[in-house]
Amino acid sequence: MITRRGRILWICTATAALAAGCALFFVAAGLTQENGAAADAAPPAQAPGSNQQPGFVDAMGRWFEEGAVKFKSQMESAQEKFDKLGSQAREATKEATGAIVGLPNARVVNARERCVKAPNGAPDCLTAAVTLCRSKGFETGKSLDTQSEQKCTSARFLLEGRSPTSTECPTEIFVTRAMCQ
C-alpha cells in the first residue's frame, strides 16, 4: 500500500527524471545543431594520424542505429522461422488428413468404455476400443483418447482425514475416443 507521501515522492522523482531527460535531449540537440552549422561552414582540417574521439551524442546515435539494425535482423530471422514452422505444420496436417481419409469407412467415435485389467495387471484399452467400435456398428477400432478416474468404495478416509489407499479408491481407465473401421 502506497501512502500519500510515497505517491508524492514517486511523482517528484518521476518528474525530476523526465526533466533531466528533456534537458539532456535539448543539450544534445543544441550541440548537434552547433556541430552541423560548423560542419556546413567549413570542415575542420584533420591530420591523417589524429584520433578524433566521438561525442556523446554521436556514440548514442550509433548505439541506437546498431540496436535497431540488430533488432530488425532478429525479427526477420524470427519471421522466417515462424514461416518455416507454419509450412511444416501445414504439411503434417495434410499428411495426417490424407492418412485418415485414405482409410475406408473410418470414423472417429466419441463414447465411453472401461478398460478391463489384462492378466498382467495393466489396463487393456485395445479390447475396450474394439468393444466401443462394435457397439457403434464397426468391426474394429483403436484407442485415440483415454480418461482415468478414481472410483472410491467408501468415504471413510475423508472422515479420518487421510489420503485414500489404492484398494479404497482404485483407478479405472476409460476409452473416450476411438478410430473405428
- Kindly give the confidence (pLDDT) of every residue in the chain, 181 residues in length, as a single tens digit, with 9 standing for 90 and above: 556 666 666 665 666 666 666 556 665 665 555 555 444 554 555 555 555 566 888 888 888 899 889 988 898 888 888 888 888 888 887 777 666 655 667 888 889 999 998 889 888 999 999 999 999 888 888 888 899 988 888 888 888 888 888 888 888 999 999 988 8
Residue 83 belongs to some domain of the structure: yes
14 in a structural domain: no
Residue 51 is assigned to a structural domain of this protein: no
**Do 175 and 129 share a structural domain?**
yes
Same-domain check for residues 79 and 139: no
Q: What is the pTM of this model?
A: 0.42
Number of CB atoms found within 10 A of residue 125's CB: 21
- Provide the domain count of the chain: 2
Residue 43: inside a domain: no
- Same domain, residue pair 112 and 92: no
Q: Quick check: is 22 in a domain?
A: no
Query: Residue 86's domain spans which residues?
Result: 60-102
> Of the candidates 80, 102, 124, which is a domain's last residue?
102
Distance of alpha carbon 111 from alpha carbon 96, whole angstroms: 22
